[in-house]
Structure 1
Amino acid sequence: MNWRSVDLNLFFVFDAIAEERSITAAAQRLNLSQSAVSHALARLRRVLGDDLFVRSADGMEPTPYASELVEPIHRILALLRNVLVQSPDFDPTRADTVFRIAVDNSSALVLAPRLSALATVQAPGVTLDLRPSGTLDILDRLERGDIDLAIGNISDPGGGRLNVEPLFDDTFVILARQAHPGGVGGIMTLDALAIHSHLSLTSTGEDDRFLDAELSRHQLTRHVATRAPLLSAPAILTRSDMVAVVSERLARAFVAERSGLEILRLAFVPPRTTTAMLWHRRADDPAAQLWLRQIVRICAKDIGQSIQ
């Protein structure tokens, strides 16, 4: 086989099909027509002498030979993207780079609006591809180069390959409807927290078990009446006497966007939570990545100063 004659674009098609398990989804991801992707796959099959992908009930399944190629091809293409995209003279005003950032739900509401606005001003040609981190294996995606940055309540994974930089701290409050009967002087007591039913938010990634521990210390328990995704919280809370434990900045984002909600303090000192950004060490120095992390820091500083 004459490898010099092989079109590198064929391997980008291979990688997209391996990820998406679909010709249609791969075509959308690559901004190509389905016929172009099918034609590229046919060419690669001829070059490698293998079917590579076969149709099944679960989509396009890789053959045993293709399965052995998936990881090394993906890793090589990720490294190639980094080399090609990260120019030492990165100019945000002229760049058309796509940055792929995983964010948790809290960061999506609190940080993403500021980040999007600042990036649009500094780099009008840049695209921020914000992806929900709850559906991703963050460490694996960073390792493979699928995402450039992760932002959220992320702990240090260790191992020395990834960097973690704290952005801002937060605390927990109670989010409830205005004039909630359990709120007295802007505070909700432990007794009130035990009396009123709770809405447990399943998609925030925030750990509210501290509340159960504190209630237990006083021989109290709470009743979780509903478990629901974060974005349903305002509609549920404004129509009931349920309460939800959330980080303060997240609660303020909801109150700012929707009337009928209020923030109540806890009658004890809740734990602190930290939002951080995480990136792979190979992205330490490239100019484009430095710029991206810097605008995240600027936005995070603004958020950090919003609650003193």
Structure 2
Amino acid sequence: MNHPNISTIDLNLLRVFDSIFRERNILRAAHQLGMSQPAASHALARLRHALKDDLFVRSARGMQPTPRAEQLAGPVRQALNYFELGLQSGPFDPATSAQRFTIALDNASAVTLTAPIIEAVTKAAPNVVTELRPSGTLDIDRMLDEADLGLFIGRAREPRERFASEELFSDDFVVVHRRAENMPSPPLDLKALATRPHIRLSSAGDNTDFIDLWLKEHHAHREIRHSVPLLGCEAVLRQHDVLVITRRRIAMELCRGTGLVSDELPFVAPRVATNMRWHRRLDAQPAHSWLRQIIRQTTLDYRLIEAATARKAQG
């Protein structure tokens, strides 16, 4: 079988291929590349001829890749990624750069870190663009591989050699509720945890079975009245006399200016780590190194604020 020789292919055609593969639409791909639709169609025709494959077939869902295109997509994207990194290997000046960073965050990180990250990046690099995306339905590792994401922030994921990971901080758990007249002074006691109804956060990704195990050891149990998403739990807590057990940083955000309060658990709760995860090809890339340092400093500042708030609360 005769394979195409790389020397016979215009490498600019690979950018067209990559864009069509991503967009599934020639017009959108052309706009993304700053070229006309006829020019993009002509480039695709040339690549089809060189590779002797249709590559994309029109359908009701757009331009669907052939098996050959699916096979090529990963290596082409990776090659383009490394080429782009080579072009960006010079010094990074945050004061003048207009680079775009795409970051995915899990729900807990989105609630607690979105505002601090935007504030820190805007202050240090006023022209840099950050696209922060919820990670819930994303294939994080594939998107890091293909450079659709530069960074993931959230709970630790399965270690893989091609990815680097760094812990930013860890949280324990507290109880959030509206203050009721007959609520005992903190920390909450066994009776309060067992007799007051609870709600469970359905989108925070945390397993709070540890509270059930502790109650069982004390011959008690709790009633979980509802499961609600993190973004909707504040309104439920303000309107109903219920408890929710959640990470301390989430609790801080829920209680900020809402009239809700957080209390300590009557036992030492487990801790959950929040990590950064990125592809190792970006380890020494100046812009990405700068971004990671900004996020490290942001979370350090956040920890200092937490410590100061705790000292103030203690007297």
TM-score normalized by the length of structure 1: 0.85
Given the alignment of the two structures, is residue 244 of structure 1 paired with residue 244 of structure 2, yes or no? yes
8 Å contact 2:184–2:192 — kept in the other structure? no
Q: How much has 1:166 moved relative to structure 2?
A: 1.6
Could you give the per-residue CA deviations for residues 273-304 of structure 1, whole angstroms, max 9, x where no partner exists? 22221222222212112111111111011111
8 Å contact 2:121–2:128 — kept in the other structure? yes
Aligned residue in 2 for 1:126: 128
8 Å contact 2:117–2:295 — kept in the other structure? yes
Q: How much has 1:34 moved relative to structure 2?
A: 7.2
Aligned residue in 2 for 1:206: 206
Aligned residue in 2 for 1:66: 69
Could you give the per-residue CA deviations for residues 227-257 of structure 1, whole angstroms, max 9, x where no partner exists? 222111111221212322111111111221x
Q: How much has 1:172 moved relative to structure 2?
A: 0.8
What is the rounded CA distance, in whole Å, between the counterparts of 2:106 and 2:60 in structure 1?
A: 32
What is the rounded CA distance, in whole Å, between the counterparts of 1:158 and 1:130 in structure 2?
A: 23
What is the rounded CA distance, in whole Å, between the counterparts of 2:107 and 2:80 in structure 1?
A: 29
8 Å contact 2:103–2:131 — kept in the other structure? yes
What is the rounded CA distance, in whole Å, between the counterparts of 2:33 and 2:262 in structure 1?
A: 45
Deviates further, 130-139 or 263-272: 130-139
Aligned residue in 1 for 2:80: 77
Aligned residue in 2 for 1:174: 175
8 Å contact 1:187–1:266 — kept in the other structure? yes
What is the rounded CA distance, in whole Å, between the counterparts of 2:12 and 2:114 in structure 1?
A: 33
Aligned residue in 2 for 1:275: 274
Look up the equivalent residue of 1:291 and give its one-letter code.
W
8 Å contact 1:53–1:63 — kept in the other structure? yes
8 Å contact 2:170–2:271 — kept in the other structure? yes
8 Å contact 2:194–2:223 — kept in the other structure? yes
Q: How does 1:215-254 map to 2 (within 5 A)?
A: 215-254=215-254
Look up the equivalent residue of 2:91 and give its one-letter code.
D
What is the rounded CA distance, in whole Å, between the counterparts of 1:211 and 1:40 in structure 2?
A: 61
Aligned residue in 2 for 1:295: 294
Structure 1 residues 190 and 131, CA gap change in structure 2 (3 angstroms): same
8 Å contact 1:167–1:277 — kept in the other structure? yes
8 Å contact 1:141–1:147 — kept in the other structure? yes
Structure 1 residues 31 and 110, CA gap change in structure 2 (3 angstroms): farther
TM-score normalized by the length of structure 2: 0.83
Structure 1 residues 22 and 196, CA gap change in structure 2 (3 angstroms): farther
**SS of 2:305 mapped into structure 1:** coil
8 Å contact 1:201–1:228 — kept in the other structure? yes
Q: How much has 1:22 moved relative to structure 2?
A: 4.9
**SS of 1:111 mapped into structure 2:** helix
What is the rounded CA distance, in whole Å, between the counterparts of 2:266 and 2:103 in structure 1?
A: 37
8 Å contact 1:201–1:244 — kept in the other structure? yes
**SS of 2:293 mapped into structure 1:** helix
8 Å contact 2:165–2:276 — kept in the other structure? yes
Could you give the per-residue CA deviations for residues 164-221 of structure 1, whole angstroms, max 9, x where no partner exists? 2221221111122x22367311333333333333222222222222222222222333
Unmatched 5+ stretches in structure 1: none
Aligned residue in 1 for 2:161: 160
8 Å contact 1:182–1:192 — kept in the other structure? no
Query: Which residue, out of 111, 114, 120, partners 1:112?
Result: 114
8 Å contact 1:79–1:145 — kept in the other structure? no
Aligned residue in 1 for 2:151: 149
Structure 1 residues 222 and 65, CA gap change in structure 2 (3 angstroms): same
What is the rounded CA distance, in whole Å, between the counterparts of 2:186 and 2:205 in structure 1?
A: 26
Look up the equivalent residue of 2:66 and give its one-letter code.
T
Identity value in percent = 41
8 Å contact 1:102–1:149 — kept in the other structure? yes
Q: How much has 1:29 moved relative to structure 2?
A: 6.3
Aligned residue in 1 for 2:265: 266
Total equivalences in the alignment: 304
Deviates further, 189-198 or 98-107: 189-198
**SS of 1:94 mapped into structure 2:** coil
Look up the equivalent residue of 2:225 and give its one-letter code.
A
What is the rounded CA distance, in whole Å, between the counterparts of 2:235 and 2:35 in structure 1?
A: 40
8 Å contact 1:186–1:264 — kept in the other structure? yes
What is the rounded CA distance, in whole Å, between the counterparts of 1:78 and 1:301 in structure 2?
A: 31
